[in-house]
Chain A
Amino acid sequence: MQRVTQPGSRSGRLALFLAFVFCVLGEAARGADAVVDVWAASSVREPVSELARRFEAKGRKITLVFGASNALARQIAAGAPADVFLSADDVSMDGLQANGFVKPDTRRVFASNQLVVVAARELAVPLAVPNDLLRPEVKRIALAAPEVPVGRYARQWLTSRGLAEAVKARSIVLDDARATLASVDSGNAEAGIVFLTDARIAKTARIAFTVPENEQPYIVYVGAVMVGGDQPDLANDFLRLLVSPEGLAVLGAAGFRPPPPKTVPPSDAP
């Protein structure tokens, strides 16, 4: 019995070992390709993925990483290999730029967005005005964390309406824009505050109302080439595609607004 199985298990071990070496070498070979790393706010997932497909159609390769802008910025500062960073606010970009991670001349504002209140399918009462968020049926309100752009925008608005404290008492806090939407989509929160563009791709949640124009916070999306990236030329190309008429059209189709007309430095805004 042993004599039969021993050689078998030995060749099995050899096969496992070879497979393992093969895997490692395969990765090493793949690492040599020119890949541009685009790190982007979770809210721009669909249009940026679409533009990445078009970019790759010309024989170039992209790795896309999506997450909360503030978290991505933190990782880039810690050495993450991003070539392009697309942030849903200027705070995250400013922090990186102050520490020398951003090529300042490549920085572009490429889109704007709007805040909306979304309601879960299960919520029986309609939400039409901000104070409806305080109705007893709305037990949990999904907000992104205060450091996350959409979370900060939402709190700015709530504060301006004097609702911040009351909403906070029933809020659940999520990691990024998409996780916030997902919690309403799954019915785990009765309402949430997300970007209009997130709400448009909701599966079951519906837009209750859009925050009135004159109450909308100043929302900008900024992109820039990162100093630490290893593909500066491809990074520039991708950023140029993003702000080209073609890129803006793709963003527009996803519901993003064009960048604000004024080209004042965003940090001067109130």
Chain B
Amino acid sequence: MSWDEAIAMGTLTLRVGGVAIALALGPALALGLWLARHEFRGKALVEAVIALPMLLPPVAVGLGLLLLFGRRSPLFPLLHALGIELPFTWWAAALAAALVGFPFLVRACEQAFAEVDPRFEHMARSLGYTRGSTFIRVTLPLARRGVLYGAVLAFTRGLGEFGATAVVAGIQPGRTETLALGIWSRIEQGDDSGALVLCAASFLLALAATTLAEGWLRRAPGTEGNART
């Protein structure tokens, strides 16, 4: 277990986690806002479906992704024509991480948006802001703490993703072997010290991510701060 290897694995893990958040953030914001602002019959069911990737065993999520994007999927001809071959690439790892982190992110967004007083939005609208700019300049800044908190939760969950990733991306050193997969394959080889080095790397990554986010949350004016000024 060389440091180069561990660093390469950490970089890959960060990339996978970063792309995962990038993939999940847009849909999660939209869905969170919609859920926060609408009451309807069957909402509980919708919430439950969104929570599924969090509730299902991750390997089941991985199998679902593999069946959906794999060679025998009914979608495959279309994906192939578009030049998209997802399984066993690091994009597959990112998608798996995005999916398992998605419920955390949606839930956090929903709660954050629900706490934004709609009067601020009405004011902005009456002052001539469009719906879009009201969201960007009023709603999102007011909800930023919750959104950021959810993003950190989803990101760190994605960093440690194992089951879904192993199924849909495989454990390919240098390509899809993230820290979590690396730890597993070293345990399987009986290389406990190698596994521990990677555990330490994971620990440092998670600590850095949460510390950065905490610092950020503390410095940024929060919901209450903004609302009172």
Contact = CB atoms under 8 A, between A and B. Distances in A.
Nearest to B11: A23
Contacts of B216: 9
Given A2-B221, A9-B216, A63-B175, A80 B170 contact: yes
Nearest to A201: B190
Given A27-B90, A65-B170, A79 B85 contact: yes
B179 to A, nearest CB: 15
Contact of A23 (B18, B70, B188, B189): B18
B41 interface: no
A178 interface: yes
B189 A178 contact: yes
Contact of B190 (A79, A81, A203): A203
Interface in B82-102: 85, 87-90
B183 interface: no
Interface stretch (A156-164, A181-189, A216-224): A181-189
Interface string A13-41: 00000001001100100000000010000
B87 A23 contact: no
Interface of B: 11, 14-15, 18-19, 22, 66, 70-71, 85, 87-90, 170-175, 185, 187-190, 192, 216, 219-221
Contacts of A176: 188
A80 B220 contact: no
A75 B92 CA distance: 14
Given A23-B14, A63-B174, A80 B189 contact: no
A9 B220 CA distance: 9
Given A9-B219, A65-B170, A79 B88 contact: yes
7 contacts: A5-B219, A63-B174, A78-B66, A78-B70, A78-B71, A186-B190, A186-B192
A2 B221 CA distance: 8
Contact of B189 (A5, A75, A182): A182
A24 B173 contact: no
Contacts of B173: 63-65
Contacts, number: 68
A83 to B, nearest CB: 12
Contact of A24 (B15, B175, B187): B15
Nearest to B88: A80
A222 to B, nearest CB: 21
Given A23-B11, A23-B14, A63-B174, A78 B87 contact: yes
A179 B15 contact: no
A80 to B, nearest CB: 4
A147 interface: no
A247 interface: no
A181 B187 CA distance: 11
Given A2-B221, A23-B11, A27-B15, A79 B87 contact: yes
A94 interface: no
A75 B170 contact: yes
Contacts of B187: 179, 182
A79 B70 contact: yes
A2 B229 CA distance: 14
A182 B190 contact: yes
A67 interface: yes
A78 B66 CA distance: 8
Contacts of A80: 87-88, 170, 172
Interface string A56-85: 000000011111000000010011110000
A65 B11 CA distance: 19
B189 A65 contact: no
Contacts of A66: 185
A85 to B, nearest CB: 13
A24 B89 CA distance: 13
Nearest to B90: A27
Interface in A130-185: 175-176, 178-179, 181-182, 185
